[in-house]
Structure 1
Amino acid sequence: MSRLDSMLRRLTAQRDGLNWAAAQIETLSGEVLDMGLGNGRTYDHLREVLPGRRIWVMDRVLQCHPSCTPPEADFLMGEAEPMLERLASQGAPIVLAHYDFGMGIKAEDVAEAARLSPLIARVMMPGGLIISGQPLLGFAEIKGPDSIPPERYLFYRT
């Protein structure tokens, strides 16, 4: 499979997973966390499908498209560990998290996700959902939407 086809499959799975998760948390209160702002496409989509929800965004640097810049108060810039610690200390009630950190080197990305898993657990509300492109540890894996092939995107309940 070409890298272009692989990227298209990943983005389609990401969109379908986010739409599915937004419907799952419709009746739950809580905030959203997007880990890995990048260009801002996912954040922009989350704003659209979850209007009225506070969406925290974290990344090492702010380099997104200008139309996708989160409010300053909701953007956590820096390394993930201290930013997750900050959210945990503030008691942010995260009901939905999207994990999209990574450099594209599978072994390193998996190791980072494993290292961050306990910190992610500290910010999540019981019964919350996590959608991730990398395997996370310590969460109950659940089946996502039927349109997403197994292992393409991972879904967890806290």
Structure 2
Amino acid sequence: MSRLDSMLRRLTAQRDGLNWAAEQITDVPGDALDMGLGNGRTYDHLREILPDRRIWVIDRVLQCHPSCVPPEKDFLQGEAEPMLQRLATEGHKIVLAHYDFGFGVKEKDVAEAATMSPVIASVMAPGGIIVSGQPLVGFEELDGPEGIPEGRYMFYRA
């Protein structure tokens, strides 16, 4: 498979997974969280599918497309662990989280996801859904929507 085809498959899985997750949490109160803003594509999609929810964003730097800059009050700039701890301490509960942190080195990304899992759990509302490009630990793994190849995206319930 070409890298272009692989990227298209990943982005389609991400979009379909986020849409599916949004349908799962319609009756669960709480906020959304995008971990890893990047250029803002996912955040922009979350704004579209969750127009009535507050969407928190965590990233080390703000370098997204100008049309995707989150409100200053919702952007937590810095390392993820203290930002998640801040959300937990302030009592925010997340019903839909998207995990997209990584270094681009599979072993390192998997290790970081495992390390971050308990901190992510601390902000999740019971029944909340996590959509992740990396395997997380300590959550109930879900099948997710049909059509997404196994391992392409992972889905969890808090």
TM-score bucket (shorter structure): over 0.9
- The 5-angstrom pairing of residues 4-153 of structure 1 reads 4-153=4-153
Tell me the amino acid that sits aligned with residue 150 of structure 2.
Answer: P
The RMSD of aligned alpha carbons is 0.6
The Cα of 1:28 is off from its aligned counterpart by: 1.5
Secondary structure at 2:103's aligned position in 1?
Answer: coil
The Cα of 1:61 is off from its aligned counterpart by: 0.1
After the TM superposition, list the runs of 4 or more consecutive aligned residues in structure 1 that deviate by more than 4 angstroms: none
The Cα of 1:15 is off from its aligned counterpart by: 0.1
The Cα of 1:82 is off from its aligned counterpart by: 0.7
Instruction: Find the aligned partners of 2:50 and 2:69 in 1 and give their Cα distance.
Output: 16
Residues 37-56 of structure 1: per-residue CA shift (max 9 Å, x gap): 00000000000001010000
Q: What is the number of equivalent residue pairs in this alignment?
A: 158
Secondary structure at 1:26's aligned position in 2?
Answer: coil
Instruction: Find the aligned partners of 1:157 and 1:31 in 2 and give their Cα distance.
Output: 15
Instruction: Find the aligned partners of 2:134 and 2:76 in 1 and give their Cα distance.
Output: 21
Residues 108-156 of structure 1: per-residue CA shift (max 9 Å, x gap): 0001000100000000011110000000010010110002111110000
Instruction: Find the aligned partners of 1:147 and 1:56 in 2 and give their Cα distance.
Output: 28
What is the TM-score when the length of structure 2 is the normalising length? 0.98
Secondary structure at 1:16's aligned position in 2?
Answer: helix
Q: Which runs of 5+ in 2 are unaligned?
A: none
Q: Report the counterpart of residue 2 of structure 1 in structure 2.
A: 2
Percent identity for Structure 1 against Structure 2: 75
Secondary structure at 2:27's aligned position in 1?
Answer: coil
Instruction: Find the aligned partners of 2:156 and 2:61 in 1 and give their Cα distance.
Output: 27
